[in-house]
A = this chain, B = another copy of it.
Amino acid sequence: MLSEKGCRERRAALEKKIAGRADWIVLTSPHHVLYFSNLWVEPNSLAHHSLAVLAWRGGESALFVDSFLSREARTAFADQVVVVPCYGDVRPVPDRRKAVMERAAAWLSAKRPGTVAAETAYLPAALAADLRGTGAAVLDVLPLIEEMRCVKYPDELDLMRSLVRDASSSLDAVREQVHAGLSEWAVYGLLHREFVTRRCMPLSLIADIVTDLRVSGLPRDRRLEKGDLVIIDFSPYSGGYRADISATLRVDTPPGGRQVEYMEALFQARARAEALLRPGVPGREVYGAMAGCFAQRGLGRFFTGHAGHGLGLLQPERPYFLPHSDEPLAAGQVVTLEPGLYDGRVGHMRIEDVYIIGPDGAERISRHRPGF
């Protein structure tokens, strides 16, 4: 989870960015309510459609949720947490979102806001109308938050380290259980089981389990066969943050033909890109280092897609490792590198690791075995 200190620091940082342009900040996007208050609603929760409203100014903050979120609200950091009843043992409230919005708007109205900074791509129109009803103007603050999010705070880095560590050991445990006869969906199920038993938290599972000539995508109802190359691209989404690691393995038999050579190329491309993961380097140079490595080996045409990407509350997020990413890297960013070679004659192969960029270079925080 995120820390109270981190939440307070982020709230203060955003206030500083809007100083003079807005007085109150009112957020409703689930990932940013998490970022600034540690309230997280799992996407698989019964409260998935509930609305949480976080409002703050100066030293004063308030979080409005419906009673489906009362458990989650207990570990949220806000000076005041208002739980609006929505479903008791006696009668339900027909419109939970509306009940929360009305409560938040009434509270804000008493504060006489001048201009409210909000994310207009997420703020419900009904709440925007309520805010205008208080006489407040609305300023879009989403780009400023996205700018902030590029560089992680210490509590975010702690969370992501631990998430990537558990993802790594889960993936290693699954590869030991991959044998001919298992369906791709069964491998997907194994990833879930290994992760939740380690992490003791719900998991929204995103994983490509691909064999044959697929590059990415959901598993299929197909059983693995001896000699298959399998890419497992495992992106557990847990506690609101995302890990993203990949491995390629061969089922029940050692790699053959050019597979060993291709895997060496993936590791070499990763090393070349790793060496550029430091502040000031534009994302396109990282892409270029990886692409150049494959080109030197005459494998350039088998490298399609990106070289990696930023990771955090979303996936992918800034910085991007694409041919035209001009944005320079910065210390505190979390990124992945995912070299892949997609040659149908050899079999599709990809590895992926996660890094924290430090002042002088990057630390690889994934610990799984990505190759054969």
Contacts and interface: CB of A to CB of B under 8 A. Distances in A.
Interface of A: 29, 31, 43-46, 48-49, 51, 71, 87-92, 94-95, 97-98, 101, 118, 120-129, 138, 140, 142-143, 146, 183, 185-186, 188-190, 192-194, 196-197, 200, 202-206, 217-221, 235, 237, 304-306, 314-316, 320, 322-325
A contacts with B: majority SS = loop
A323 to B, nearest CB: 5
12 contacts: A46-B235, A87-B316, A89-B305, A89-B322, A91-B324, A95-B143, A185-B196, A186-B193, A188-B196, A189-B189, A189-B196, A193-B193
Contacts of A88: 322
Copy number of this protein in the oligomer? Answer: 2
A189 B173 CA distance: 14
A98 B120 CA distance: 9
A145 to B, nearest CB: 12
Given A120-B126, A124-B122, A196-B185, A89 B304 contact: yes
B44 A205 contact: yes
Nearest to A29: B49
B206 A205 contact: no
A90 B304 CA distance: 11
Nearest to A324: B91
Contacts of A123: 124-126
Given A92-B322, A125-B124, A323-B89, A202 B218 contact: yes
